[in-house]
Amino acid sequence: MTGDTLFDVSQEIVLITGVSGQLGGEYAKQFLERGARVVGLDIQSSLGGDSLTKQYPRNYLFCTADVTDKASLQKALNSIEHKFGIPTVLINNAAIDSPPSAPPEENGAFEDYPDESWDNVMDVNVKGTYLACKVFGAAMAKNQHGSIINISSIYGVVAPRFEVYAGTKMTTPIEYAAIKSGLIHLTKYMAKYFKGMNIRVNTLSPGGILDSQPESFLKEYKQKCLNKGMLDKEDLKGTLVYLLSDMSLYVNGQNIVVDDGFTL
């Protein structure tokens, strides 16, 4: 069996939630280039998603859906089944975070963090993942085949290193750490729950992704790493392909960290 065969994902039906976000479109593109059928799911479309529809009319489907609404996800599943069949892969990528442009209190002191922001982010990042696992995981269970990948973060593994944010308007909000660590344990729970159903559940925890952050932050962050520092979006594709392919058949319930050594 050749290496290309081992990493073959051309028979997969890959569902990516949050496809219109920073990483979702990159994930979709990588799998489409490898011959997979891909479903992009988001509450709204994007120019990138529209271009994928035009470029891969047979292999790409965009579904408008709200991950916090079970009925919306069920409707999306019906559309996916009609077009491609039951998804074989679910990448839970949908998330909302506090960007540098967020209101000051969202990137400020823990004591000032808005309670409504906590509720909103928990709803999408945790409940959204939970509901997607429920709806699409149940369909996979009927098929006795599937792989679920939850997207966590280095700050689901280690406590925030607040010193890297010195002199910027950035920080790691309390909800981010709580959510990302929670997703890692959700992965373990789901992996055990699906025992005997031929469904694997794993987590990918990336390091920071380059997105026009201040130079002072990039410098401080890189000092915590071993070689590159902040990652490019493309740096995650190899690990994702590995988790989808037959090379990881018995990798189950694990958290794979891609961070250039930041968590060491």
In the β-sheet with 199-206, what is the strand arrangement from edge to edge? 60-64, 37-42, 13-17, 89-92, 146-151, 199-206, 255-258
Catalytic residues: 176
Residue 22, sorted as left (phi over 0), alpha (psi -120 to 50) or beta, turns out to be alpha
Q: How many CA atoms lie within 13 A of 7 on its CB side?
A: 12
Q: What angle do CA 242, 25, 80 make, to 5 degrees?
A: 80
Angle between helices 128-143 and 174-193 (to 10 degrees): 20
Taking the C-alpha atoms of residue 149 and residue 243, their distance in angstroms, rounded to an integer, is: 8
String of DSSP letters for 161-175: -GGGGTTSS----HH
Taking the C-alpha atoms of residue 49 and residue 41, their distance in angstroms, rounded to an integer, is: 10
Taking the C-alpha atoms of residue 83 and residue 98, their distance in angstroms, rounded to an integer, is: 35
Taking the C-alpha atoms of residue 237 and residue 27, their distance in angstroms, rounded to an integer, is: 7
Taking the C-alpha atoms of residue 80 and residue 189, their distance in angstroms, rounded to an integer, is: 26
CA 185, 187, 189, 192 dihedral sign is negative
